[in-house]
Amino acid sequence: MSLNAERSYKMKLRDVENAFKYRRIPYPKRSVELIALLAISCTFFLFMHTNKLNSRLKEMEVKLQPSEFSALGLTGNHISGHDAGKHDDINTLHGTYNYLKSTGQLWRLNPKFLNNTRFHTRNILFFNRVPKTGSETLIELMVRLGEKNGFQNERAPFSKPIGMYWPMERQKQEVTRIMDLQSNYAFVYVEHMNYMNIRPFHYPQPIYINMIRDPVERVISWFYHVRTPWNSLNMYEITGSFHNRTFYVKSFEECVLTHDPECRYNYGLNYKEDPGDHKRQSLFFCGHSPICEPFNTPGAIARAKQNVERDYSVIGSWEDVNVTLSVLEEYIPRFFKGATELYYEPIKGLAFKKENTNHWKPKISERIKQIIRANFSQEYDFYYFCKQRLYRQYFAINRHLHF
C-alpha cells in the first residue's frame, strides 16, 4: 500500500471513530417523559421518607432527651436486665462503685454536672412526696433544719386528695397557689402530688426533691397503712364512714392469691379512676399526662426518667441513709446543711426512725413478693435508675472511697 493510500485509510478510520464517539442517539419522546417521571417519583419518595424519619427522630428525642446524667454513660437502661448480673449486683452502692471504676467512669464524675440545684432561680424547695417512702421522717428533719438554717415549711393538709391527673388549668392554679405562699424567706412546700412542670406558667424554677423505696415493699406498706387505726380515724373525719370488717381483716397474701382487685397489678391497666392509686411510685415523677396512666409501661417510665434527670436535684432513699443525707447536704446546702448531724443527734435523732413505724404490718413471705415482682419490671427499672443516680452523686463528692 502506498504512503498516500495508507494516510487516506487512517483518516477514514479516524472519521469513523469520531462518528461513534460524538454520535447523538435520538430517544423517543415517551421514553424521555418516563425517565423524568421516575426522577420526580424518586425525589418525592426520598423527601417523604426523610420527613418521616425526621419526625420519628424528634419523637425519640422527646422520649429520651439525653442529659448530662446519661452523657456520663450510666443510666437505669444501660445496666439493668442481663448486664446487671455481670457486675457484682450493680444496683447496690458497692456494685455501682465497681461498675463505674471498671468502666473508667468513676473519675469523670463531676458534682457540678450532677446537680440540678444550679438551675433554680428562687429558694423554693418542692417535695412532691411519694406515699410510704419515709416522707414523714424527711418532713420532720426539714422542720428542725428550718429552725437552724432559716427557712419556712408548708405542707398540704391531710384532708386534701392526692394530686393526680390534673388538667393544665388545675396545674396552673396549684402552682400559683404554692408560689403565693412564699414570703421573702427560703421556703419548703410538701404535698402528695404528681410532678408538675411549671415552665409553661412562667414561674421561677424550684428545687425538686423526693424519696423512693423498693416498689413491692412500698405497696405492702401502703396496704397495711390504710388499715391502721390512726389512718382509719383520719379518713372517718374526712369521709364520715369506715370500711367494712372484711376490708380490715384481709391479709396481703390472701389478697394476692385470690386476685383481689386491690392487689391486681396488670401490665397496661389504667388506674385513673382509682383515687387511692398507690401501686407505682413512678407516677409521682411522670406527671399528669395520659402517657403516665397505664401501669408498668415503658412510656410512663421513660417520661418519669426524663423529668428526674432534667428537674430533680436529689431523689433519696432511707434504704441508703448516709448516702442520702450526704448528697442532700452537698447538693442543696441552703436547706440541708447539718442534716446528718441532726439526724444522728443522740436525743432527738432517734425519733426520726420510730415515729412513723407501722407495727401492725406482719412479715410477708418471699414467695408472695416474688409473685408480684414479676409485674413490676418497669417500676424496678425506674427504682434502680434513681438509686444509681443517687450513688453517682455520692461518688462524685467522695472519690477517695475504696470498697
DSSP track, 18-38: HHHHT------HHHHHHHHHH
* pLDDT: which is higher, 27 or 166: 166
User: Could you say which of 120, 192, 278, 288 is catalytic?
Assistant: 192
Q: Which amino acid is at 88?
A: D
- Please report the pLDDT score of residue 353 as a whole number: 58
Cα angle for residues 376, 282, 193 (degrees, 5° grid): 140
Match 413478693 to its residue by C-alpha cell.
369
pLDDT of residue 305: 98
pLDDT at 402: 62
Cα-based torsion angle of the residue sequence 296, 258, 214, 344 in order, rounded to the nearest 10 degrees: 150
Give the pLDDT confidence score for residue 78 in this predicted structure: 37
In this predicted structure, which of 136-140, 159-163, 314-318, 346-350 has the lowest mean pLDDT? 346-350
Look at residue 287 and tell me whether its pLDDT is greater than 90: yes
R_g of the chain computed on alpha carbons: 32
Q: pLDDT tens digits for 352-402?
A: 555 567 777 889 999 999 999 999 999 999 999 999 999 999 999 987 666
Encode pLDDT of 76-103 as tens digits: 433 333 343 333 578 899 899 999 989 9
Between residues 267 and 10, the one the model is more confident about:
267
Higher-confidence residue of 272 and 358: namely 358
Would you say residue 229 has pLDDT above 80? yes
Confidence of residue 127 (pLDDT cuts 50, 70, 90): very high
Q: Is 274 a residue whose pLDDT tops 90?
A: no
Mean pLDDT of 47-65: 42
Between CA 52 and CA 1 the distance in angstroms is: 72
Taking residue 101's Cβ as centre, other Cβ atoms within 10 Å add up to: 14
Q: How confident is the model at residue 13 (pLDDT cuts 50, 70, 90)?
A: low
* 82 classed as catalytic: no
Topology (CATH) of 74-397 = Rossmann fold (3.40.50)
Query: Does residue 69 contact residue 114 with C-beta atoms inside 8 Å?
Result: yes
pLDDT 10s digits, 163-205: 988 999 999 999 999 988 876 789 999 999 999 999 999 998 8
68 or 253, which is more confident: 253
pTM, rounded to two decimals = 0.77
User: Residues 117, 313: contact at Cβ < 8 Å?
Assistant: yes
Amino acid at 84: A
Average pLDDT score over the chain: 80
Residue type, 345: E
Give the chain's end-to-end CA distance (angstroms, integer): 100
- Residue 85 corresponds to which cell in the numbers above? 448480673
